[in-house]
Amino acid sequence: MDKALADLRSAREAGAAVLQNLPSKYLYTRGSRYWQQHISSLADNEQILVWYLPEETKAEILDKLEWLGNIVRSTDGKKRPIITYVVNWRVKYLKRVNSIVDAVVFGAYPCYYGTLPRIEVKRRIEHAYKSGVLVVIAALEAFKGKKDWPRPKDVRFDAYLALLNGAKGIMWYGYAYAKQRPQMLEAILEVATELNGPERLGEVLLLGKEPRSLSCRTVKGPAYFHDDYVYGTRFRKPKLSSIQWTAREYEKYLYIFAVNTAQEVGAVDDGGKACTVEVEFGPVSSVSSEVHVISEGRTISLSDGYFVDSFEPLGTHIYKVKID
């Protein structure tokens, strides 16, 4: 308790909101009196944004997790949301956890396994939604895997692949590891600044309107690359589009978020030219003749409502253009 209160004081001094973790080691050993006192002593603190139930709870003890969630809901007068990180991808398990919390944290760690393509982030999020989860927060890796660390380009790719596939937030695991790698922390900060800084891209994704007529056409390179499949099985479905993208109209601008998922896992250049994709977006009705590429310091010419750009393997581009 003392440590939790000290952390909250530090967060207040830093002006930071807190995801309040509840200690998993006491889930099985302490009763309702302890938990009500523990949560009551924290509940008036304005720094707490979200309650984080003990993570990776196994299916056989989800009753205990639900019991704790009910104590939080009955004790917290501010009615802040409850989340947890899941340990299992089984549909029945995900549905049960979804009934307990307001959002499910679901992770994909390609570098950890060393053999997974980074499109696994998309597959996991889609699987969670298909399993009945209502709100997914993406858990992305910020630690050294079996072979190497995620690169800055991986950090940005993972984040936008997750968001354009429906994730409503991002958590990177974990700070204790990432702080050993300054370039990792810098890459995370850059993405967080894009989402929450002056460009407000997180707001754009959450509140913007999806345009109906916009399309993305492959000009050069593999239009499809990775096989799709029923999650957790080897049953193959049609291949997935290499370019994953979404768009939003927000406050007189059109934003396009796009990533190239084509990748040769383990290759130094991720597949190089063989996985490079050139695409055309449009039509865009704009008073401008240029498209601004966010965070890249470049613009692209808009001709008759269309523009063309190239994506390296695991490349990420975000476009912004004034609309009529």
Q: What is the pLDDT of residues 168-218, one digit of tens each?
A: 999 999 999 999 999 999 999 999 999 999 999 999 999 999 999 999 999
Summarised one tens digit per residue, pLDDT across range 93-150 is 999 999 999 999 998 999 998 889 999 999 999 999 999 999 999 999 999 998 899 9
Answer whether residue 153 shows pLDDT above 90. Answer: yes
Q: Are residues 43 and 115 in the same domain?
A: yes
Q: Are residues 182 and 232 in the same domain?
A: no
Q: Are residues 226 and 93 in the same domain?
A: no
Binned at pLDDT 50, 70 and 90, residue 229 comes out as confident
The arithmetic mean of pLDDT across residues 215-230, rounded, is 95
Q: Are residues 166 and 266 in the same domain?
A: no
Q: Are residues 37 and 148 in the same domain?
A: yes
Count structural domains, the chain: 2
Answer whether residue 312 shows pLDDT above 80. Answer: yes
- Work out the percent of the chain whose per-residue pLDDT is above 70: 100
Q: Which domain holds residue 81?
A: 2-206
Q: Are residues 136 and 253 in the same domain?
A: no
Domain final residue, candidates 206, 222, 240 = 206
Q: Are residues 78 and 178 in the same domain?
A: yes
Domain final residue, candidates 206, 233, 251 = 206
Q: Are residues 230 and 201 in the same domain?
A: no
**CATH code where residue 58 lies:** 3.20.20.80
Q: Is 225 exposed, middle or buried (0-12, 13-18, 19+ CB in 10 A)?
A: buried
Q: Are residues 193 and 234 in the same domain?
A: no
Q: Are residues 10 and 110 in the same domain?
A: yes
Q: Are residues 196 and 240 in the same domain?
A: no
Q: Which of 88, 135, 90 is nearest to 107 (CA)?
A: 88
Looking at residue 324, its pLDDT comes to 76
Summarised one tens digit per residue, pLDDT across range 21-73 is 998 888 888 899 999 999 999 999 999 999 999 999 999 999 999 999 999 99
Domain final residue, candidates 189, 206, 223 = 206
Q: Are residues 54 and 193 in the same domain?
A: yes
**CATH code where residue 256 lies:** 2.60.40.1180
Summarised one tens digit per residue, pLDDT across range 240-273 is 999 999 999 999 999 999 999 999 999 999 999 9
Which residue's entry shows tokens 């790698």?
181
Answer whether residue 322 shows pLDDT above 80. Answer: yes
| Polymer length in residues for the chain | 324
Q: Per-residue DSSP letters for 7-74? A: HHHHHHHHT--EEEEPPGGGTTT--HHHHHHHHHHHHT-TTEEEEEPPSS--GGGHHHHHHHHHHHHH
